[in-house]
A and B are shown apart, each in its own frame.
Chain A
Amino acid sequence: MTARLRYAAIAVALLLLVTLPLWMGNSYYINIASQILLFAVFALALNVLVGYAGLVSLGHAGLFAVAGYSSALLLQAGFDHLIADSAAIVITLAASAIFAALALRSTGIGFLMITLALGQIVWGVAYRWASLTNGDNGVNVTTRPAPFGISLASAPSFYFATLLVFLLALITMAVFVRSPFGASLRGTRDQARRMTALGYNVWLIRFLAIVFSGFWTGVSGLLFIYYNQFVSPQVAALTASAEVLLMVISGGTATLFGPIVGAAIVVIMKNVVSAYIERWNLVLGVIFVVIISFMPEGLVPGSVRLARWLWQATRFRATAARPSEELKP
C-alpha cells in the first residue's frame, strides 16, 4: 500500500468513526462501537508487551480490574470522578510496577506463568475479600462523569468520549512505536543480549514498557466501568486476560492496527454468538485452537493466506504449495 493510499484509508476510517452515531441510529449498535473502542485501547496496551516487547502477559485483566475496582470503590466512598479516576490510575501504575518487578524475574514461559498467578491474585481479592470488594455481587457505579459539564449518560455522548480516548491512545502508540524507546524495546525483544552488550538497560526498558502498558490498561479499565456502570470479579478472570490476548493475536501482533481489528472481531463475535448460544467460552476456545493450528500469524493475514491457498489449490491442483509450516508467534 502506498503512503497516500494509506493516509486516505485512515482519513476515511476516521470520518466513519466520528460520524458513526449519525448513520448508526440504534443506540444498541452505538454501544457496541463504544465497547469495541474501549477494548481496542486495552488490546493496544497489551500489544506493547506481546507485540513489541515479546513478553506475553496472561494477567492483564488483573491490572484492568485494579483500575476498575479502585475507581468504583472510591466513587462509592463518595469521592468525585476526577479524584477517583486519578487515584485509580496512580494505583494501577503502582500495581503495574509491582507486576513488572516480579514478572521480570523471568522471561518467556516464566513471565507468562508469573503474570497468570498475579492476575489470579487480583481475582482472588476481588472474589474472596468480600468486605472490601463486595465479592461476587460486584460494585455499582451509579453515575458517569460529566467533563466540562457535558453529560456522558447517553450512548452517543459516551461513544464520543471513548472515541477521543481511543484516538489519544492510538496517537500515543504511533509515537511510541516510532520513538527511540520503541526501537530499543523491539531490540530487547529480538536481541536482548546484544542490547545489553550495547549498554542498554534491558530490565529497565522492559519495566517501563510494562508500566506504559499498565497505564493504558488502566484507562481502558476506567472506560469499562463507566460503560457498564458495574464491576465484578469476572473482569479479573483468566477468561478476560485470554480474551484480550485473543484480540491482540487475532488481529496480528506488533502492528498498530491489528489489535483494533482484533478487538472489533472479538467484541462483535461475542455479541453475535451470545445472542444465539450461551456457549461463548466454548467458541472462544475453538477460535483459539483454530487460529493457533491453522493461521498462527493472525486471523486477518491468516484468512487471506488460506483463501489464496484454497484458490490456488483448486486452480493448480498438482503444483499447489503447502501452507507455510513456519508457525512463529
Chain B
Amino acid sequence: MMSQITAAQAAILAINSLALGGLLFLLSSGFSLIFGLMRIPNLMHGSFFMLGAYLGVSLLDTGIVIGGTLLPNGLSLFGLTILEHGFTIPRITLVPQVPNIFLAALISGTIVAVIGGVIERFLLRRLEGQILPQVLLTLGFAFIIADICLMVWTGDPWQPSPPSELRGAAQAFGLFFPLYRLAILAVAVVIAIALWIMVDWTRLGAMIRAGVDDPPIARVVGIKVSRLFTLIFCLGAALAAFAGVIGAPYLSVYPGLDFEMLPLALIVVILGGAGSLLGTLVGSFIIGFLYNFGQARFPDLAYVILFLPMLLVLVARPQGLFGRNVA
C-alpha cells in the first residue's frame, strides 16, 4: 500500500499539488466569501464547478447549442404514448465555438454567474436568515444540476486537451514540468492577487469586510447588503465555473465531480476560516499537497487523509486558522 517517492516524482507531485491548490483556491474563495458574508453554506458550489466545466467543454467542442432531437424514445406514461419518438426542435447556436480554453472559462463563468444570480435573487433571497431552508434549497439545486448534466453530457468523462502552446513540458534542473499545470497555478495566483486587491484595497472590499464582520451594522451605515449578496454570489459562482473549465484538462469532467469538489471546498473553508481569503489560500494549498502526496503514498486512503487537518483544526481552533468569528 505504501510506496517510496523519488525526488523527481516529488517535484512532479509538487507541481500537481500547486495546480490543484490553485484550482481549489478559485473554487473555495467564492464559497468562503459567500459563507462569510451571507452565512449560507452553498451546497451548489461543487455543481457550479461541474456545470462550468461541462459548459467549457461544450464551448471548446461545438459551442453551446440547444435543440436537436429530444426524447429519442418518445414519452409515454402508464403505457399511453404522449409524444411520438424523435420530437425535434430547431438547433440554435447560443454561443459559437471558441478556440481558447481561457476564453471558454470566461464565457462559462459568466453563464454560471447568471444562473447563480437568478437562484440567489429569486429563491435564496426569500429565505434570508433561515439556515435549514437555505441549505436544503441549495442541496436541491445541486441534485437538479447534477441530473441535468448527466442528461445533457451523458455519463462519459470529458477531458479537453490543453491549448497547443501549453501542451509540452518545461525542463528545469533536469526535470520536466507539465506547462499547463504551471499555467493553472499562474492564473490562480493572478486571480488571488486581484481578489486580495478587491477585498483589501477597494471600497467594494471594505463593504464586503463590513458585511462579513457585522451585517446588521453594515446595513445601518448604508451599505446595500442585499445587492452585495447578489454580487458576491455571482462572483463565487463565476469563480467556481472558471476553475471547472481551466481544471478540465487536468481533472477531466465526469458525473460526481460536483460532490467530490464540494467537500474539498468545505474542508478548505473549515481549515482556513470562513470569509478569510488568506485562510482559503493556505487551506487550498495544504489540501492540494495532501491530496497529491497522499494519493502517491497511500492510494487507498488518500481521500480520507484529506480530512485529517480539518479534524485537527476543529479540535484545536474551531473558527479556522485565520477565521475571526465562529461559524
Binding site for B on A (CB under 8 A): 56, 58, 102, 105-106, 108-110, 112-114, 116-118, 120-121, 124-125, 127-132, 237-239, 242, 245, 249, 276, 279, 281-282, 284-289, 291-293, 296, 327-329
If the complex has contacts A102-B315, A117-B307, A245-B136, are A109 and B39 also in contact, measured as CB distance less than 8 A?
yes
- Which of B5-13, B160-168, B195-203, B259-267 interfaces with chain A? B259-267
* CB closest residue in chain B, given A253: B132
Interface string of B27-44 (1 = CB under 8 A from A): 000000001000101010
B309 → chain A closest CB, angstroms: 11
- Which of B204-212, B241-249, B297-305 interfaces with chain A? B297-305
- In contact, A110 and B318 (Cβ under 8 angstroms): yes
- In contact, B140 and A106 (Cβ under 8 angstroms): no
Q: Is B66 an interface position by the 8 A CB rule?
A: no
B69 → chain A closest CB, angstroms: 18
Interface string of B116-155 (1 = CB under 8 A from A): 0000000100110011110111011111111110010000
Q: Is B327 an interface position by the 8 A CB rule?
A: yes
- In contact, B142 and A110 (Cβ under 8 angstroms): no
Please give, as numbers and ranges, the residues of chain B lying within 8 Å of A124 by CB-CB distance.
303-304, 307
Q: Is B2 an interface position by the 8 A CB rule?
A: no
Please give, as numbers and ranges, the residues of chain A lying within 8 Å of B144 by CB-CB distance.
281-282, 285-286, 289
- In contact, A105 and B140 (Cβ under 8 angstroms): no
- In contact, B130 and A113 (Cβ under 8 angstroms): no
Give 9 closest A-B pairs by Cβ, nearest first: A288-B140, A285-B143, A124-B303, A285-B144, A329-B132, A282-B147, A110-B327, A289-B140, A120-B263
Main secondary structure of the interface of A (DSSP, over half): helix
Sampled A-B contacts (28; CB under 8 Å): A58-B139, A102-B311, A109-B41, A109-B327, A110-B318, A113-B41, A113-B266, A113-B270, A116-B43, A117-B307, A120-B263, A121-B304, A124-B307, A125-B303, A128-B301, A128-B304, A132-B300, A238-B259, A242-B139, A276-B77, A281-B147, A282-B143, A285-B142, A285-B143, A288-B136, A292-B133, A292-B140, A328-B130
Binding site for A on B (CB under 8 A): 1, 35, 39, 41, 43, 77, 123, 126-127, 130-133, 135-137, 139-148, 151, 259, 263, 266-267, 269-270, 299-304, 307, 310-311, 314-315, 318, 326-327
A328 → chain B closest CB, angstroms: 7
CA distance A276 to B82 in the complex (A): 13
A237 → chain B closest CB, angstroms: 8
- In contact, A285 and B147 (Cβ under 8 angstroms): yes
CA distance A128 to B291 in the complex (A): 13
* CB closest residue in chain B, given A133: B300
Please give, as numbers and ranges, the residues of chain A lying within 8 Å of B148 by CB-CB distance.
282
- In contact, B143 and A117 (Cβ under 8 angstroms): no
Across the interface, B139 reaches (CB within 8 A) one of A109, A288, A327, namely: A288
Please give, as numbers and ranges, the residues of chain B lying within 8 Å of A112 by CB-CB distance.
41, 131, 135
- In contact, B133 and A108 (Cβ under 8 angstroms): no
Please give, as numbers and ranges, the residues of chain A lying within 8 Å of B137 by CB-CB distance.
288-289, 292-293
CA distance A131 to B130 in the complex (A): 43
A43 → chain B closest CB, angstroms: 15
B231 → chain A closest CB, angstroms: 21
- In contact, A279 and B131 (Cβ under 8 angstroms): no
* CB closest residue in chain A, given B123: A293
- In contact, B41 and A121 (Cβ under 8 angstroms): no
- In contact, B301 and A102 (Cβ under 8 angstroms): no
- In contact, B301 and A129 (Cβ under 8 angstroms): yes
CA distance A127 to B259 in the complex (A): 13
Q: What would 18 more interface pairs be, CB under 8 Å, given A106-B318, A110-B318, A328-B130?
A: A56-B132, A58-B135, A58-B139, A108-B327, A109-B35, A109-B39, A110-B326, A110-B327, A117-B263, A118-B307, A128-B304, A276-B77, A279-B151, A285-B145, A285-B147, A289-B137, A292-B127, A296-B130
A295 → chain B closest CB, angstroms: 11
* CB closest residue in chain A, given B318: A105
CA distance A123 to B135 in the complex (A): 20
- In contact, A129 and B314 (Cβ under 8 angstroms): no
CA distance A224 to B315 in the complex (A): 33
If the complex has contacts A124-B303, A128-B300, are A287 and B151 also in contact, measured as CB distance less than 8 A?
no
CA distance A13 to B232 in the complex (A): 51
Please give, as numbers and ranges, the residues of chain A lying within 8 Å of B1 by CB-CB distance.
131
* CB closest residue in chain B, given A108: B131
CA distance A287 to B141 in the complex (A): 10
- In contact, B141 and A285 (Cβ under 8 angstroms): yes
Across the interface, A239 reaches (CB within 8 A) one of B136, B143, B314, B315, namely: B143
- In contact, B318 and A109 (Cβ under 8 angstroms): no
